[in-house]
Structure 1
Amino acid sequence: MSTTDFSLNVQARDLQGKGASRRLRHQNLVPGVIYGGAAAAQSISIRLNELVKALESEAFYSHILTLNVDGKAQQVVLKALQRHPAKNSPLHADFFRVDATHDIVMRVPLHFVNQETAVGVKQQGGQLSVLVSDVEVRTLPSNLPEFIEVDLSATVLDQVLHLSDIKLPKGVTLTQLSHGADSHDLPIASIHLPKGQKADDAEDAAAE
């Protein structure tokens, strides 16, 4: 689990609807909602500059967050974020309450490490092709990782890595594999020769 701490001060709001949301945005506030658990859904507003700054961190998307709603702290995760199609600024945020005793399902980014020193790259001249950038995991909130590393150092030319090759942190499972490893073990990365080099090698082999 990460030691990064994200805490935002937000305000409860009573008015809802497109008109109310539009007025909030004119005040540089972002409308949002907190839902899940035994409590009722709660509408909130967040200062735009604070949310934009938090969103700059990759960890914010896969981390247990603290929302201080009018001074009362709630543990949540970011479940959905609506952005402006042109400006890319946040328009609405959905937060899901977490319970320390219940599993949560989240998408977590993959970090591919040791790419330059991978056997298939450094010694065999291949190029890495990343097919999957994040995965959906199921875990207790206390075990939620910010990211999962995939070590490429031993990966050779023409090798394809699959979901089942990922070394998961303790207490973390991949939801995709829970549906059956045989049919859901998707490829995540591979190392192959560049297309042009493949053609040159084929020509050389034919000439020989």
Structure 2
Amino acid sequence: MKQNFVVVAETRADQGKGASRRLRREGKIPAIVYGGTEAPVSISLSANEIGKQLKVEAFYSHLLTLNLNGTSQQVVLKDLHRHPVTGLAMHADFQRVQADKALRMHVPLHFKGADVAPGVKTGGGIVEHLLNQVEVECLPKDLPEYIEVDLSALNVNESIHLSQLKLPAGVTLMQLKHGNDQSVVAIHLPRAAVEEETPAAAPVEGAAAAAPAAEAKKEEKK
């Protein structure tokens, strides 16, 4: 069941770095909401409340209800700036959602079945995650919280590509639209095991014969 996220915000008139610093001292962060048929609006959020919501993975790929000055609208989180040291949110961008307009969002991948995959369970392989999210395009009503990747049938030296993912109805992958069918996950043997299976190089026949021949020439010169 999908979660419901409500982001409470208020409009702000002050702009610039100084105003943003004052907001943060008051326990708020600056943000902006844009898109749709309305003009962009500068807003502020409770740093404490948004901080709690940002700890939930679904918040990043979910339709959000933005409660702005008592009125509600549907938005998605499009960008987030964090402090480079503390990791705390510094600024957020929200995009208004229109029911009949497709939107593009990054959606996380959830992997399952690794523990029973033949390549791991009996083949001694290890799982290599090559992607942890994908960019999708769909109508707002079709936006998935995540896309599941089933590894349960994967053998050693096999991989799953984007074109093999099972997508919800109405959802397309932007990478595939651009002809990029890259690998998502693969199972390989550990490097140590690969090195053990590689036989030592056999001596070159000509080189092996060269040593006795050189010694024979030395004897002839004596």
Scaled by the length of structure 2, the TM-score of the pair is 0.88
| Alpha-carbon distance between aligned partners in 2 of 1:203 and 1:25, rounded to the nearest angstrom | 63
Aligned residue pairs total 201
1:50 aligns with 2:49: yes
3-state SS of paired residue (1:177): helix
Identify the residue that residue 187 of structure 1 maps to in structure 2.
183
Identify the residue that residue 67 of structure 1 maps to in structure 2.
66
| Alpha-carbon distance between aligned partners in 2 of 1:169 and 1:121, rounded to the nearest angstrom | 28
Identify the residue that residue 206 of structure 2 maps to in structure 1.
none
Letter in 1 for 2:157: D
Work out which of the residue numbers 193, 197, 200 in structure 2 matches 1:197. 193
Provide structure 1 residue ranges, at least 5 long, that are not aligned to the other structure: none
Query: Which segments of structure 1 move beyond 4 Å, counting only runs of 4 or more?
Result: none
3-state SS of paired residue (2:115): coil
Q: Residues 130-184 of structure 1: CA distance to partner in whole angstroms, max 9, x if unpaired?
A: 010000000011110110000000111100211111111111000111122xxx1
| Alpha-carbon distance between aligned partners in 2 of 1:39 and 1:172, rounded to the nearest angstrom | 26
| Alpha-carbon distance between aligned partners in 1 of 2:87 and 2:120, rounded to the nearest angstrom | 36
Aligned-pair distance for 1:201?
2.3
| Alpha-carbon distance between aligned partners in 1 of 2:52 and 2:199, rounded to the nearest angstrom | 53
| Alpha-carbon distance between aligned partners in 1 of 2:171 and 2:33, rounded to the nearest angstrom | 25
Mapping of residues 37-116 of structure 1, within 5 Å: 37-116=36-115
State, as a whole percentage, how many aligned pairs show the same letter. Answer: 50
Task: Kindly report the root-mean-square deviation, in angstroms, between the aligned alpha carbons of the 2 structures.
Answer: 1.2
Which of these two proteins has the greater Rg computed from alpha carbons?
2
Letter in 2 for 1:197: A
Scaled by the length of structure 1, the TM-score of the pair is 0.94
